Structure 1
């Protein structure tokens, strides 16, 4: 192979077949170019700049790159004011930051990161032009969150050097970077992008080019199941949000989060992933959210979404049960599984707890049975009365417990259940008799999509869990959570949901089923 005139002296060179760059991450002395100077572009530029790189900013709109340089300088000034960056380091960084009036001003870049409009044709045109400007050992990267990395690189002469580097907003603060390999991406190029992100103080994860990558693919049930519970009339948005925050341990509820993101943005991502998976029922969008978007209630930016945001507007409060008296004694029959810590909580609250053999439930003095959600409904039990309680991430720390019971349940039994959890220091919400309740069905579906992503080679289990913890602040990775709950109970809950909603949405995937069988074999052996 003849030497390529566009390879810089002293560079890391090309891969063996000449299709892309090889070697470790891009060193701090090498130039990083950022195309697109919006919020994400400025954030990525700041990250590269603080890591020691000369940075070139380019925007197709005249004057925007110079404005972005000034904006990044302002960002660095604020870091100095907060004591997070020294003045000398700021001055050195600003000396390395320059605006480029033309794309040709990016010719010396070792890495180009694109953060422009989410349109395939525009991105393809940009990279086709860049390919003739930068050296052949330069890495070309897109920050797309919704488009195919493979499709963007499809027309390139050297698609092997093209990779996705999906940062999360705000890029300087959030640690996760999804490093996405397209169909033609050279492994060496992905490795260079991965190692570069590590050098920048980020936590990169590797994944293949799939709709939504890791986070936007696996996260869909967090929104979808909440919307489904709302559409069935089982609970209102404020109560669903409170359940997922105060029992599930999530940082924000899905209704307040989509109001923050923008209902139009969130619905568009959901629809994009659904269509990319050929309308797989597991990703079906919500009609309720579509109607909200059509009404113009887009969330905080429009002043109203699921909740009102005008000055003086009162936010709806979650349903919280009135105080009830706790029963003096209860009987815990068998192992309560992930809810086993409740027995100790009840004892510390002064309730006498008797323990007997059984299938994992609590007998209340009224004769009502209290059981951990299993995907069935209270109305299906004709000979006995059951009150279900929802899954919690940590029953010791949970601030709220959600109960579900059919109409006609013994008022005394329901009052005993409410009082029991209140005595343990929990707020209690009572919702409609919906299978899977709120937290349990959400976690089960998250685990199912996470296991499916691993099964299909999208990413490793460790990277999936890391992405979900760092990218969207989940209290635990879905696979870690499913392992703690138990893969068999998780599969059982999904099968119960599938029986009641036979659309395919809840049918557990092979990845999760394999884990359930492995768990059973390990326990037996």
Structure 2
């Protein structure tokens, strides 16, 4: 099987927003489309709804009148399942209830031909389970569109345990023929996007629960330093706290309460209070309904202007932050360089658990050794956040997607750092054109821990053959608009650094949540030994 011929009929069952969106996509790809819904009259109303969508496309100049007329002529309601008998493909977009979907597909299977392709748009249920009650389970696949379906390019093509490879190929090729970007994955909880994206919310919630920073500041750091298009708290409010929390809980339960997916008590309390986000007028942030009043009124913590130091000492290799050397020089700050001092290697990891069975000081076993630092005139060191512990007077600074283009940097002084050193560090980053947010000293700060967890879950999915590297990165870029695919990001900052961050976090929180997956550990060890993995 390949892509469906455009002369074939596509049926969409479920006439809600998603069903109408999928119908519009198939219709504009040239198919005859039937819309069905179990509620009498809803299919006809949905046909009118799709027609209204096409009217708006004409008004915007995105569809010419002739195409509009032809498309409307290919769209029709189907009042009963029996009316779907001639369909070559049926896409289901009904309520997320396993029993309801199984009964619906059993009814559909009774009337369509044996070569009719069946697809479920489920976002949270097992495709394998949906197909479990079918006489021919091999012809059912997952075809997960993202809302709004006509606009968002990504479609997850999910192979259930019984899915025929030819059916999966047909669904993939058909989605591509419809102008979408399909990615293939196996039937795993959350598929690709909802599985891998959990840390983007979970780590922000954890930092908040530890009172390291407020939601507005966490959002600003992930946007302006991490390069994400939207902060997690604002995004949770947009999605709906109840929806976002339900997805997190569903993935956690499907993974048999794996600590990497543990839901947040803070979010649970928000849901219980009815503060669900934009749709209720308040979530993490307050919202005013009305024209021009849809954005939340909140400001991140930003440090007051401070004087920049005239010089700094850069000791060793700054790793993912090495761009800062050039930026400081360009800002007119004298940069003095020296090698990392060998006597500092012991204890530089400062790792909790050291000496009692914890990981060795340099990072992971066979790790990269002491990380570089920026020494301020007052003697305090600035070090890239890596989650390490220790009693030294150190100021951690957060990981950035690109230190040159980042407009904000987070810094976190340890308990022994005095105010003058914080002012020096603040002035240093301000001289490089960055706003500075001072946050409480929590392991791996905000961006570093978030990116490390995203990379870890991506390597875990790769090792378990959930999807190819290309499809994993494509899914996260297009499905949730990440600035880089997590695997690409991991290669950019190095598997060794990611593994070091997670090892240190695991030493702080020995629950298993932050334990690096075996594939990430293997790649870090291979890189440290000079082996190309």
> Taking structure 2 as the reference length, what is the TM-score of the superposition?
0.92
Q: Match for residue 419 of structure 1?
A: 427
**1:126-525 aligned within 5 A:** 126-311=104-289, 315-358=297-340, 359-377=371-389, 380-382=390-392, 385-522=393-530
Cα distance in 1 for partners of 2:278, 2:207 equals: 23
Instruction: Give, in angstroms, the shift of residue 349 of structure 1.
Output: 1.1
- The yes-or-no answer on 1:87 pairing with 2:65 is yes
Instruction: Give, in angstroms, the shift of residue 492 of structure 1.
Output: 0.9
Conserved? CA contact 2:190–2:251, under 8 Å: yes
Instruction: Give, in angstroms, the shift of residue 352 of structure 1.
Output: 1.1
Instruction: Give, in angstroms, the shift of residue 292 of structure 1.
Output: 0.6
Conserved? CA contact 1:247–1:400, under 8 Å: yes
Instruction: Give, in angstroms, the shift of residue 443 of structure 1.
Output: 0.4
Instruction: Give, in angstroms, the shift of residue 55 of structure 1.
Output: 0.4
Conserved? CA contact 2:391–2:416, under 8 Å: no
Q: Match for residue 115 of structure 1?
A: 93
Please list the CA deviations of residues 373-395 of structure 1 after superposition, one character each: whole Å capped at 9, or x if unmatched.
11114xx224xx21000001111
Instruction: Give, in angstroms, the shift of residue 427 of structure 1.
Output: 0.5
Conserved? CA contact 1:498–1:504, under 8 Å: yes
Q: SS at the partner of 1:301?
A: helix
Cα distance in 2 for partners of 1:127, 1:426 equals: 56
Cα distance in 1 for partners of 2:273, 2:18 equals: 29
Q: SS at the partner of 1:354?
A: strand
Cα distance in 1 for partners of 2:309, 2:140 equals: 64
Cα distance in 1 for partners of 2:321, 2:59 equals: 47
Cα distance in 2 for partners of 1:253, 1:267 equals: 16
Stretches of structure 1 that go unaligned for 5 or more consecutive residues are 1-22
Q: SS at the partner of 1:109?
A: coil
RMSD value over aligned CA atoms? 1.3
Cα distance in 2 for partners of 1:56, 1:28 equals: 14
Cα distance in 2 for partners of 1:314, 1:30 equals: 47
Q: SS at the partner of 2:317?
A: coil
Q: Across the two proteins, how many residue pairs are aligned to each other?
A: 499
Instruction: Give, in angstroms, the shift of residue 316 of structure 1.
Output: 2.3
Cα distance in 1 for partners of 2:522, 2:22 equals: 40
Please list the CA deviations of residues 210-238 of structure 1 after superposition, one character each: whole Å capped at 9, or x if unmatched.
10000000000000000000001101100
TM superposition outliers: structure 1 runs of 4+ over 3 Å: 311-314, 521-525
Conserved? CA contact 1:368–1:410, under 8 Å: no
Instruction: Give, in angstroms, the shift of residue 408 of structure 1.
Output: 4.0
Please list the CA deviations of residues 380-438 of structure 1 after superposition, one character each: whole Å capped at 9, or x if unmatched.
224xx210000011111111000011234121111111001101111100000100100
Q: SS at the partner of 1:429?
A: strand
Stretches of structure 2 that go unaligned for 5 or more consecutive residues are 341-370
Q: Match for residue 360 of structure 2?
A: none
Q: SS at the partner of 2:88?
A: strand
Instruction: Give, in angstroms, the shift of residue 314 of structure 1.
Output: 6.5
Q: SS at the partner of 1:320?
A: coil
Conserved? CA contact 1:376–1:496, under 8 Å: yes
Q: SS at the partner of 1:374?
A: coil
Q: SS at the partner of 1:55?
A: strand
Cα distance in 1 for partners of 2:15, 2:530 equals: 53
Instruction: Give, in angstroms, the shift of residue 522 of structure 1.
Output: 3.5
Conserved? CA contact 1:401–1:427, under 8 Å: yes
Conserved? CA contact 2:455–2:490, under 8 Å: yes
Structure 1 pair 523/160, CA: closer, same or farther in 2 (3 Å)?
Answer: closer
Instruction: Give, in angstroms, the shift of residue 524 of structure 1.
Output: 8.6
Instruction: Give, in angstroms, the shift of residue 463 of structure 1.
Output: 0.8
Structure 1 pair 364/523, CA: closer, same or farther in 2 (3 Å)?
Answer: farther
Which region of structure 1 is more displaced relative to structure 2, 303-312 or 66-75? 303-312
Cα distance in 2 for partners of 1:39, 1:511 equals: 40
Conserved? CA contact 1:247–1:393, under 8 Å: yes
Q: Match for residue 357 of structure 2?
A: none
Instruction: Give, in angstroms, the shift of residue 519 of structure 1.
Output: 2.1
Cα distance in 2 for partners of 1:375, 1:27 equals: 54
Cα distance in 2 for partners of 1:75, 1:463 equals: 31
